[in-house]
């Protein structure tokens, strides 16, 4: 019997890219789950925290897409800070102030590099990042005080509030919101725009996602949330807007973009923030990214690049 040759359907380039991305995502999810299973992220012992902070610094330096960017570290009144500046011609009058994540117990300049450089890349603006003091050595309100000092530094340098976009991820999103609540309470002007990536807005963990999506998020657990909020807030009232900015008054806040992954433990923090902002008359846009996890924008994957391009369009239009 004569055998007929098998017919293979040609795969177009778009399908190939999709398949490659799916494989990368699968590997990334497996790696993230493996890291979570063997790490001691919930430990607030100083020795464990030192290891976490050192690992974050290395991860940030390796993952940061610094091609075409200049990294200029300096010290700001005792606070370690750094500018990310595009090498190409750009508008120097508009800048981004970026607050890093890390549960208020970890994170540093090295860890800031990936998102700070991505923000500069998609916007063509200079980005300032800084190391605020960390808990448990320096609990609330140390981080807030440092953020206000950095804001004041920018004012002394001649920037106006309307020249600045404030951005933050996770606990940095919390800090960004608290900074705006603090400025508003003092009768000061607020920044031009606000960008929040997987923001931690509710330390009371009242949202449904804390239970409904607990098994979906490969990067963060409720045990971790309890550990870092105790280290940072102690026995304070967690409904205080200076800790849970979700419960503050958003009247007069600037146009805001929120990005959140559909698989996030903290999904409700973004969803409820969007609803409260819109109820206060704030122009708030929330993007949900399917099958993504907490602060996925940091990773070298296609959806992260697409999400950051959306941030760039939000800032430039």
| DSSP annotation string for 185-202 | HTTPPPPSEEEEES----
143: left (phi over 0), alpha (psi -120 to 50) or beta: alpha
Residue given tokens 């806040």 in the structure block: 253
Residue of 133, 65, 79 whose CA lies nearest to 102: 133
3-state class of 180 per DSSP? helix
- Quick one: tokens of 189? 């002007």
User: Which phi and psi (to 5°) does residue 261 adopt?
Assistant: -85, 145
CA distance between the termini of the chain = 67
DSSP 308: H
Give me the numbers of helices (H) and strands (E) for the chain, helices first please: 9, 8
Active site members: 170, 264, 294
Q: What is the dihedral of CA 199, 205, 206, 209, to 10 degrees?
A: 70
């Amino acid at each position: 019997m004569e055998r007929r040759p098998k017919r293979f359907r040609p795969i177009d380039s778009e399908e190939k890219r999709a398949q490659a991305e799916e494989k990368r995502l699968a590997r990334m999810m497996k790696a993230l789950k493996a890291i979570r299973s063997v790490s001691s992220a919930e430990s607030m012992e100083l020795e464990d925290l030192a290891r976490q902070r050192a690992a974050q610094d290395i991860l940030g330096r390796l993952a940061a897409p610094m091609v075409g960017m200049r990294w200029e570290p300096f010290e700001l009144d005792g606070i370690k800070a750094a500018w990310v500046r595009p090498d190409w011609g750009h508008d120097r009058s508009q800048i981004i102030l970026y607050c890093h994540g890390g549960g208020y117990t970890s994170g540093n300049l090295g860890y800031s590099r990936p998102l700070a450089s991505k923000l500069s890349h998609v916007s063509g603006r200079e980005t300032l990042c800084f190391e605020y003091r960390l808990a448990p050595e320096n609990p609330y309100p140390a981080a807030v005080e440092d953020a206000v000092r950095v804001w004041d530094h920018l004012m002394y340098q001649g920037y106006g509030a309307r020249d600045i976009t404030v951005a933050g991820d996770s606990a940095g999103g919390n800090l960004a919101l608290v900074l705006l609540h603090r400025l508003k309470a003092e009768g000061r002007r607020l920044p031009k725009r606000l960008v929040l990536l997987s923001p931690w807005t509710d330390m009371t963990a009242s949202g449904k996602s804390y239970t409904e999506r607990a098994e979906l998020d490969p990067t963060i657990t409720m045990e971790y949330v309890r550990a870092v909020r105790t280290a940072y807030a102690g026995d304070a009232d967690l409904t205080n807007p200076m800790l849970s900015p979700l419960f503050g008054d958003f009247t007069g806040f600037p146009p805001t973009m929120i990005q959140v992954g559909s698989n996030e433990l903290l999904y409700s923090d973004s969803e409820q923030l969007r609803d409260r902002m819109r109820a206060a008359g704030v122009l708030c846009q929330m993007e949900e990214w399917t099958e993504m996890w907490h602060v996925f924008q940091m990773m070298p994957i296609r959806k992260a690049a697409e999400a950051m391009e959306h941030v760039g369009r939000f800032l430039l239009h």
